[in-house]
Amino acid sequence: MAATDFKDYYSILGVSKTASPDDIKKAFRKLARKYHPDVNPNNKQAEARFKEVSEAYEVLSDADKRKKYDQFGQYWKHAGEGGFPGGAGVDMGGFDFSQYGSFDDFINELLGRFGGPSPGAGRRGYSTYRTTTGGPGGFSGFSDFGFQDVGTSGTQDSEAVISLSFAEAFHGVQKSLRLGNEVIDVRIPAGAKTGSKLRVRGKGPLNPLNQQRGDLYLKVELQPHSFFQFEGDNLVCEIPITPDEATLGAAIDVPTPDGSVNVKLPAGVRSGQSLRLRGKGWPNPKDGRGDQFVKVAIVPPKDISAQEREYYEKIRAIRTYNPRSHLQRMKL
């Protein structure tokens, strides 16, 4: 990798290198909302910026990836590839790798954690493999994921963490996994969530004692979404409404994973109240679609016209409802 290809993920998110995980999450959410394709339709620059911000968050929100990124800079992705980054004519920052047999050996010395799977039942090893991201029509690029031996007697099973976007997990996606020199295609069914596991038979480590391969277990991690989140098994979102919509009721459009639906807000809806959209949640292979819960957030306007201010003042002058009346006798 040339030095000019290096991406400063901290600068992309606008945070310092000492930023806490919460600071990184807040910065990502702010930028994701700003550049999300739904907010900027047909805007290629915003789309590219959104992808860049998502890539930066994917790395900095993962403690292990962030550690490698901080230690190795522009060469962090090459940890675990079995060879050294770059090639002839690549600036390695003056570092001499000739004393090491591979880049993994270099990591072994510094971190002491990226050794190959150890033979024998119950022993653990750790290697770094890669998985492509992509969807229908092909794959695009490779990204790192951890691969850990969780051997049992007779065979050794391994577990890998695979990162999916909400869209990939909702619709299902095919992934191409590189296990050393072997590339396998795996189909992730629709409805995967963080913590879901997929078993790939016969693709785990080779047991040198009986020459049998164990199974590979893929553990799913969902990348954060700017609008949708999970609370337990429920898909939730927050929708902003105006004070008049809350008071009088309204019909509003609410995004769901497969398109917007028109939802009727009851008059007098409260901020924080949840509305259930039946059958619009996350797919469940056994029970069909779940429900989506929409949390209402009443948002007053920051900038209002002179006429709007006049009417708000009139409403205040004639208003009979006092939401704090029950607090008048409140005491310890």
pLDDT digits (tens, 9 = 90+) for 18-74: 899 999 999 998 898 888 887 888 888 888 898 888 988 988 998 888 888 887 776
pLDDT above 70 as % of the chain: 73
- Is the pLDDT at 96 greater than 60? The verdict is no
Residue 277 lies in a domain: yes
35, 50 contact by CB (below 8 A): yes
Q: At what angle do helices 44-60 and 21-35 cross, to 10 degrees?
A: 170
Query: How many domains is the chain partitioned into structurally?
Result: 3
Helices (H), 186-318: 243-248, 306-318
Highest mean pLDDT among 16-30, 82-96, 133-147, 268-282: 268-282
Alpha carbons 230 and 193: distance in angstroms, whole number = 9
Alpha carbons 184 and 173: distance in angstroms, whole number = 14
Beta carbons within 8 Å of 197's beta carbon, 6+ residues apart = 159, 217, 218, 219, 220
Residue carrying the six token digits 């969807």:
135
Residue 208 lies in a domain: yes
Residue 101 lies in a domain: no
Residue 249 and residue 190 in one domain: no
For residue 59, count CB atoms less than 10 angstroms from its CB and return exposed for 0-12, middle for 13-18, buried for 19 or more. Answer: buried
Residue 275 and residue 193 in one domain: no
Residue 91 lies in a domain: no
Alpha carbons 227 and 167: distance in angstroms, whole number = 12
Tokens in use for 188?
């992730």
Residue 173 and residue 159 in one domain: yes
Residue 121 lies in a domain: yes
Residue 151 and residue 219 in one domain: yes
Q: Report the range of poorest mean pLDDT among 54-58, 114-118, 209-213, 214-218.
A: 114-118
Alpha carbons 164 and 186: distance in angstroms, whole number = 13
197, 218 contact by CB (below 8 A): yes
Residue 79 lies in a domain: no
Length of the chain equals 332
Q: Which helix (H) or strand (E) holds 127?
A: strand 126-135
Domain end call among 225, 260, 288? 225
Residue 298 lies in a domain: yes
pLDDT, position 261:
96
Residue 265 and residue 199 in one domain: no
Beta carbons within 8 Å of 32's beta carbon, 6+ residues apart = 50, 53, 54, 57, 224, 226
Residue 99 lies in a domain: no
Average the pLDDT over 131-141 and give the result. 32
Under the banding of pLDDT at 50, 70 and 90, the label for residue 204 is confident
195, 220 contact by CB (below 8 A): yes
Average the pLDDT over 235-252 and give the result. 96
3-class SS at 161? strand
Q: What is the pTM of this model?
A: 0.54
115, 125 contact by CB (below 8 A): yes
Q: Which helix (H) or strand (E) holds 221?
A: strand 216-222
HSE-CB of 216 using CA atoms within 13 angstroms: 21
Under the banding of pLDDT at 50, 70 and 90, the label for residue 101 is low
Alpha carbons 6 and 74: distance in angstroms, whole number = 5
Instruction: Please name which of 35, 70, 187 lies closest in space to residue 27, comparing C-alpha atoms.
Output: 35
Alpha carbons 77 and 85: distance in angstroms, whole number = 9
Average the pLDDT over 167-193 and give the result. 89
Residue 263 and residue 298 in one domain: yes
What are the backbone dihedrals phi and psi of residue 277, each rounded to the nearest 5 degrees, phi first?
Answer: -105, 100
Full domain range(s) for residue 161: 115-225
pLDDT, position 133:
35
Average the pLDDT over 195-210 and give the result. 83
Residue 201 and residue 248 in one domain: no
Residue 201 and residue 268 in one domain: no
